[in-house]
Amino acid sequence: MAAYMGQRIIDGVYSYDYVILKRPDLKEGIDAYLISEDRQDLITQ
């Protein structure tokens, strides 16, 4: 699920902040996915 949501963030469907607000349990996995895809620029605090 984290990889899927990470891809949706990359595609611009959802914002990082929105996803983390709704699913804080996926934060670690989403962060890892975005870093692996070289898109750490999308990680906001």
pTM for the full model? 0.92
Question: What DSSP line would sit under the chain, residue for residue?
Answer: -HHHHHHHHHHTSS-HHHHHHH-GGGHHHHHHHHHHTT-GGG---
pLDDT reading at 45 higher than 90: no
* Residues 2-31 pLDDT 10s: 999 999 999 999 999 999 999 999 999 999
Res 33: pLDDT:
98
> Within a 10 A sphere around the Cβ of 28, how many other Cβ atoms?
10
**Contact indicator for 8, 35 with CB cutoff of 8 Å:** no
